Structure 1
Amino acid sequence: MSSQVRGGTRWKRFALVMVPSVVATAAVGVGLAQGALAASFSVSGQSFKVSTDKLVGEDFVQYGSVAVGKDLKGNDAAHPVAVSGFSKATITNMCQSVVTPDLPFGLGSVSLQLKAGTDPKKPVEATNLYLDVAQLDADAYFEQIDIGVAAGSVGKPGIQSGTEKAVNPNGFAQRAKTATLSNVEQTAWATTAGTFKLSNLSLKLHKGVKECF
């Protein structure tokens, strides 16, 4: 992730992740679509971490894909991911962090940490939420779950709009009416949402490495 830098050119790579992501659940034997693009944009060269006390989601779907973009040196990079979707979700006590290493002028590493939904009565709210998850630890509870569904038949909310050609419609997928995840810690490459309401939003920069977990 690190590279030698001259002058201030590395500042162009200091792309902070402004929109937080939350976790879904790890797929059982995710089938990856070869060469697929998991989101309708090129992902950055930095993954980010997210923790949350609780996520409650409706119409959970999950299928395998690959997030494609550039690393911090500008080289092509691809990352296998479990793409998870919800039609609606609420997230309590969410923390997101991303670390940018080796900044110039002797700054070293700088961390962005974002928190929201710290009041259980005012959680983060999202609609049409899609997550590109690389790693997950959580306690999970599902209602009416189907494991081993063909990705093209998962139903609402379906494959993320604009990425249909990136997903094998016959590949492995799973779905559930509801999903509840507690004590979540995840690493992700991207997230998209139709709407994202962040209650009690707090965003801070820290010198050095300060992550959510």
Structure 2
Amino acid sequence: MSDKVAEHVRIRWEASQRIELLTAEALNVSASAMARMEQAGHLERVAPGVYIGVGHAQHPLIEAAAWACRHEQAVACLLTAAVHHELTDAFASGTWLFVPKGASPPRSQTQSVHVIQTAPRFIDPDHDAANGIDTIEVHGVALRITGPDRTTIDMWRYPRRVAREHALEALRRRRNAKDFRLPPFARLARRLGAWSRLEDIVQGLALR
């Protein structure tokens, strides 16, 4: 069996048996072999160089997880996180990611990806709990994603990225959630430098 045929057999088997995201590096095969198996209908490309076997059920956050495969510092955020946490009915219209300032941002000519470069301290993995960032497993990837409080606050931190109506609806839904607690929310907003913008609005919602 030639090396090329052996690669194809291995990829086809992995694609049929595993629901995890697949990369050439993880399978120890060539990138061209992965591309050929996509063309043959055994793989579906999720992001550049990241695939899943055809026919597997796909998690709603699969694209965010695929980008995280390529950019370990990336954090799913804003509308991607808001839709996940049911803070908005708006369409995410692509994948929204935080990356540290100075890092090479994810790019794609075929998929919509919105990248926001932020201060590294706000997405430092050593301080995820303090920064309101959670981790969930998606197709074998440990995807970091902003939690409900952080997502709500961030939607007010980036008014040029998120429409005010979506930010207000997210704040209203978060304020009415059973697990909402004002002290930790305010503490996180202060940490992110956003409490002065949010305080009066949060208090106004509380009085309604």
Q: TM-score range by the shorter chain?
A: under 0.3
Q: TM-score, normalised by structure 2?
A: 0.22
Decide which structure has greater strand share. 1
Decide which structure has greater helix share. 2
Bigger radius of gyration among the two: 2
